[in-house]
Amino acid sequence: MNFIFPDFSQSRVLVIGDVMLDRYYFGDTPRISSEAPVVVVNVDRIEECPGGAANVAMNVAALGAKVKLISVVGVDDTSKILARKLSLFNVDYSFIYNDNYLTTIKLRVLSHHQQLIRLDFEKKFRNSDILSFIEYIKLALLSVNVLVISDYAKGLLNGCLEDIIAIAHEFSVPVIVDPKGSDFSKYSGATLLTPNLLEFEHALGCCYNREDVLITRGMEIILQCRLSAMLITRSENGMLLLQRGREPLYFSARAKKVYNVTGAGDTVIATLAASMSVGKSLEEACFLANVAAGLVVEKSGTSVINLSELKSVINGHVDIVFGVLSEDDLLRNVDLARQRGEKIVMTNGVFDILHSGHVTYLSKAKRLGDRLIVAVNSDSSTKRLKGINRPINSLEKRMVVLSALSVVDWVVSFNEDSPKRLIGSLLPDVLVKGGDYQFCEIDGSQEVMANGGQVYTLDFELNCSSSKMIDVLQQSKDK
């Protein structure tokens, strides 16, 4: 396909549906609980992201499109967090506040990219605000090109879908639906339905292994529900587009590594809506949505894909990003560097007060390969290792200074006492440690060597130590 990239700044999308807050606890699992046969998670990072229809709106906004979000929320702290995060992404939202409703929270606990458990905090919605909801939608439809209905079956859309779709038709606005439940007839009259394979099979009441049967039943639903098309997302098997009067179209899966599928459907429908809003054909919109889906599942948590990421992949050239990165972003960029044949070197430390010894050491480490990763202990990790009065400089300051060195390509933090897990995740070609260590004493050395990598120790510069400098400064202060 000779793809012409759309100008998303002209896109106008309305998103309605259930909003929620996706909360993530990340941590290591060092042991089994003494209370029950379950793992203990040492939580070292917490993230909060808008989910459901709010994540769809965030994805639309991340592409540079104008988006309006309408939903009902509770009068609670969760809705305040959602409002604040949506504002940061320039999402124009209209919340109808309901005292009797609890804004949904989905709490997921993850370790090493594996989800261990999900806890839902929610209360089913009752349609007391439905008239206000529809009036908001009517007003918003005056200035948009596409309507997205994001149904997460929390009760907001019960009993009003037929009216909403009919109103959209009156305004000549196409309707894209991310469906939920076994009854697709409630979405009758929509332009496009985007179920995943599990949702599609749930609607059919059984599983189909044969491709021809899948297509036949899909076309039956299109006719029965008066749809124009259906896009079935199928994880590692890509996407299947079914349209009235046309041959099925297949889009191969593009993800190299799948870390998390949470919110992938939101990214798909957001990219479809933004593309169709500026006149892209359904085939072109699906092509772009497939690329976006391949990118978002390589990220952890509920994530969005921005315009530059999409353009890089579509144009066949992905730029490597350097500097201070999250672990997930670092993994992707290290993979890109390896694809170009570059040798990855890694070291770690506190680097509290940067001195000439550090610079000499890092320069020697860089000469062992093409790219140098410096992993830095977090503030809490440093306190556990060095004492409550350390670090002198915060993690952010230490990382900024390190990233400014020409020999350092990437800086990443870790919260554990040991970088072993992080090293095992990145698996550098060369692992470097300063000082007189045996290889078996170096955290991560076994993992690196088992992967075919090398481990080196480098001598420190004499009489250069952050701890000694701090002691001298403290003694001078005490005099």
Q: Which residues are catalytic?
A: 266
- Residue 439, both tokens: 């290889």
How far apart CA 24 and CA 184 sit, in angstroms, is 31
Report helix angle 77-88 to 53-62, nearest 10: 20
How far apart CA 406 and CA 33 sit, in angstroms, is 45
Sign of CA dihedral 24, 27, 33, 35: negative
Asked whether the beta carbons of 190 and 175 are under 8 A apart, the reply is yes
How far apart CA 271 and CA 234 sit, in angstroms, is 17
Could you give the C-alpha distances from 210 to 128, 181, 213, 437, in angstroms and in order? 44, 23, 6, 59
Buried b / exposed e along 459-477 (16+ C-beta atoms within 10 A): eeeeeebbeeebeeeeeee
How far apart CA 462 and CA 357 sit, in angstroms, is 8
Asked whether the beta carbons of 379 and 372 are under 8 A apart, the reply is no
> What is the amino acid identity at position 150?
S
DSSP for 186-228, please give it: GGTT-SEE--BHHHHHHHHTS----HHHHHHHHHHHHHHTT-S
Q: Where are the alpha helices (DSSP H) in 280-394?
A: 282-296, 307-314, 327-339, 356-366, 379-386
How far apart CA 166 and CA 186 sit, in angstroms, is 12
* Cβ partners under 8 Å of residue 36, min gap 6: none
How far apart CA 470 and CA 149 sit, in angstroms, is 59
For residue 19, the cross-strand partners are: 52
Q: How far is CA 211 from the centre of its chain?
A: 31
Sign of CA dihedral 204, 205, 208, 213: negative
Asked whether the beta carbons of 301 and 266 are under 8 A apart, the reply is no
DSSP for 100-120, please give it: T---EEEEEEEETTEEEEEEE
Matching residue, tokens 């002198």: 392
